Structure 1
Amino acid sequence: MTDLWIDNAPGERRAALVVDGEILEIHIQRDMQLILGQAGLGRIERKSPSGSYVITEDGTEILIRGTIDKPDGAQIRYEIIRESISEPGRVKPAEARVTALCEEAVDTESLWNARLGALNAKSPISVPFGDAFDIAVAGSSKIGDATVYFQRTKAGVVFDVDGIGDASAINSIAAQEIARLLRLYQIGGMVIIDFVAVDSKNKRQEIADIFDVASQNDGRAFERSAVNGFGMMQVVRGRPRPSVLDIMFGTRISSLSSETQALWLYRNAVASTGFGPRIVTTNSDVANILRSPKWNALHTQCERLIGASMTIIVGENITGYGHVHVAQS
């Protein structure tokens, strides 16, 4: 049985493809980001060997590769063909193509619904699934005697396999788990896997075959290398959107970005119960985001959903990303 779980909150939509109670894929769309397929107007700011950098109407910089036969400052219409992707230490701008000025724009709600429709699941139901992010936050997954560690780098996502006992058995478990995690968190781009080294070429081929079988139902195309004598295998997967890890951590390696912390606090505020005003206590970086003019509409949306006012304060010795308190009304 294939289900579609939805868990939306101000500024962030979540969906999970679920089969027989197991989450296979997580999809996230943040409404303040440019979405794959979204169109709009912009002006050419500057040209470079990489292409033309265009400033959208909301001030976002995007890249259009190739030559545009228009001068700097000219207005163009664009369509996003690859979303902005945050990597440790840097943000790769969204990429777009030039479209005709008369083409009709598609709103982000329709784009999200089309993305969910492509999953071929039953009608969505509202189910919170925040615990599905625990492995991503921990950066590791333990299955039996095998442990898989993973981390984002500028070059890609690196997986390291460890365990006690027979190397082939550990690698077999890990190959299946890594294939599961790649699909679960929608990881694209370069993936480097460091299996436990084995001498036998046949055993190394078995590892690759197990990975291939475990990846069969993943709709994202990939190419991989063989497993070499040191246990290394490279996998390259399509990357039209940021992965769940990219979205969660932003330009940090493995800690939640300030934007993620801010959105998760809004999510917690909306989920909180009671009739009194909400007091959101967090660190100064997150508080500055929540108080910024760009977030005014989300703040108003939260208060409307809560049915009460919401105040942002900076707390000392904050643990985690903060907390939401329901004051006595």
Structure 2
Amino acid sequence: MAEWLYEAGIGENRAALVSRGTIWKARIELEGTGARVGAILNARLADRSTGKVTLDGGGEALCDPLPPGVTQGGPLRVRIVREAIPEPGRPKLPKAVPSDALPMPGLTLLERITASDVPVRVCRAHEPDLLEQAGWSEVLDEAVTGEIAFPGGALRLSPTPAMTLFDVDGGGPLEPLAVAAAHAVARAIERHGITGSIGVDFPTLANRAARAAVAEAIDAALPQPFERTTVNGFGFLQIVRRRTRPSLPELLRADPIGAETRAELRRIERLPPPPPATHMTTQRIARRLAQQPGWTTELARRSGGTTQFVSAKE
């Protein structure tokens, strides 16, 4: 039976939809996440030419369309329809639309999965590590490296500002390879929460029927709603899914040191008591922990003792 596994971690909350011992969806909610999808917030117009608004409580968003009559610096109320998207050098601001509803926060990760039809199991550090048993570390490694293996071949996942790209590689006959890759791509899209524009570079298939079989495999394996093109003569297919949140690869690649640090805290939190007085780690993790004293304070609260983090240089 399928169930959501949920952990309230240090610096992040995590959830995985697990069925038959396999993770089908993996989601992470970072500490201090800005305006969430569905939030209705009071705001003020900061720049009419771009639609930029300043949100009450901090942060900015792009509102389109602007309500008629609102002037520079004037108040308005907005609903968040897409969260901020991290990108190298230029993060995308949240997107918003005008709203007349009463202010309310967007749903948290736990609230979203609880609202689904799938049961939720809250996992704790002193219990067996069900997330890891289902392959949590392997999914995170896929997100960071982009290397995704499937029977007979491999995918290379590459997020870009324009779209997320999948490149298919493998040996053997091209037609069965491409169909198997289509199923693997669909599963990876769901597993990593990839939305927006997605491009897939399949092997070049000269046979029109073979290209149609690849497109049909996408239709069968990827849940609606989405739109797609056909597979063109060069083996390229494009998928478009409604974009509301950053994907797991985007979150982890935007701050790899933070991701490594939170994963290390998760491992230490699960150690049997008493907690270690000192813990050897890399210099960059030690530096991040020094920048985030709240994380080590929370670790001490949960574990019942203080751990000093030292790097190899020390």
TM-score norm. by structure 2 comes to 0.84
Matched-pair contact (CA < 8 Å) for 1:51–1:63: yes
- Distance change in 2, residues 1:308/1:99 (3 Å): farther
**Residue 271 (structure 1) aligns with:** 270
**Residue 143 (structure 2) aligns with:** 136
Distance in 2 of aligned mates of 1:31 and 1:268: 18
**Residue 83 (structure 2) aligns with:** 83
Partner SS state of residue 8, structure 2: coil
**Residue 152 (structure 1) aligns with:** 159
Partner SS state of residue 133, structure 1: helix
The answer to whether structure 1 residue 231 and structure 2 residue 230 are counterparts is: no
Partner SS state of residue 234, structure 1: strand
**CA displacement at 1:155 relative to structure 2:** 1.4
**Residue 19 (structure 1) aligns with:** 19
- Distance change in 2, residues 1:300/1:74 (3 Å): farther
Distance in 2 of aligned mates of 1:278 and 1:147: 40
- Distance change in 2, residues 1:41/1:310 (3 Å): farther
Range that drifts further, 19-28 or 240-249: 19-28
- Distance change in 2, residues 1:186/1:199 (3 Å): same
**CA displacement at 1:14 relative to structure 2:** 1.1
Distance in 2 of aligned mates of 1:26 and 1:181: 10
**CA displacement at 1:10 relative to structure 2:** 1.6
Instruction: State how 1:299-310 maps to structure 2 within 5 Å.
Output: 299-310=296-307
Q: Cα deviations across residues 112-151 of structure 1 (Å, max 9, x unaligned)? A: 3331024311231422233232322331222232222121
The answer to whether structure 1 residue 240 and structure 2 residue 237 are counterparts is: no
Distance in 1 of aligned mates of 2:272 and 2:42: 42
Distance in 2 of aligned mates of 1:48 and 1:76: 12
Matched-pair contact (CA < 8 Å) for 1:149–1:160: yes
- Distance change in 2, residues 1:269/1:205 (3 Å): same
- The one-letter code matched in structure 1 to 2:52 is S
Range that drifts further, 118-127 or 239-248: 118-127
- The one-letter code matched in structure 2 to 1:283 is Q
Root-mean-square deviation (CA, aligned residues, Å) is: 2.7
**CA displacement at 1:75 relative to structure 2:** 5.1
- Distance change in 2, residues 1:157/1:296 (3 Å): same
**Residue 60 (structure 2) aligns with:** 61
**Residue 165 (structure 1) aligns with:** 172
Distance in 1 of aligned mates of 2:311 and 2:286: 6
Q: Cα deviations across residues 76-120 of structure 1 (Å, max 9, x unaligned)? A: 5544321111134431112234555x93534x7x63333102431
**Residue 327 (structure 1) aligns with:** none
The answer to whether structure 1 residue 259 and structure 2 residue 258 are counterparts is: yes
Tell me the matched-pair count: 301
**Residue 219 (structure 2) aligns with:** 212
**CA displacement at 1:25 relative to structure 2:** 1.1
**Residue 191 (structure 2) aligns with:** 184
Distance in 1 of aligned mates of 2:287 and 2:55: 24
**CA displacement at 1:283 relative to structure 2:** 3.4
Distance in 2 of aligned mates of 1:246 and 1:128: 21
Q: Cα deviations across residues 135-170 of structure 1 (Å, max 9, x unaligned)? A: 223312222322221211111111111111110011
Distance in 1 of aligned mates of 2:62 and 2:277: 43
**Residue 33 (structure 1) aligns with:** 33
**CA displacement at 1:242 relative to structure 2:** 0.8
Distance in 2 of aligned mates of 1:288 and 1:56: 32
- Distance change in 2, residues 1:18/1:202 (3 Å): same
**Residue 324 (structure 1) aligns with:** none
Structure 2, unaligned runs of 5 or more: 124-129
**CA displacement at 1:19 relative to structure 2:** 2.0
- Distance change in 2, residues 1:297/1:37 (3 Å): farther
- The one-letter code matched in structure 2 to 1:128 is L
Matched-pair contact (CA < 8 Å) for 1:37–1:111: no
In percent, how many aligned pairs have the same letter? Answer: 26
Matched-pair contact (CA < 8 Å) for 2:66–2:98: no
Distance in 2 of aligned mates of 1:74 and 1:288: 42
- The one-letter code matched in structure 2 to 1:170 is L
TM-score norm. by structure 1 comes to 0.81
Distance in 2 of aligned mates of 1:207 and 1:40: 44
- The one-letter code matched in structure 1 to 2:268 is A
Matched-pair contact (CA < 8 Å) for 1:278–1:308: no
**Residue 320 (structure 1) aligns with:** none
**Residue 96 (structure 1) aligns with:** 96
Distance in 2 of aligned mates of 1:298 and 1:75: 36
Distance in 2 of aligned mates of 1:42 and 1:310: 42
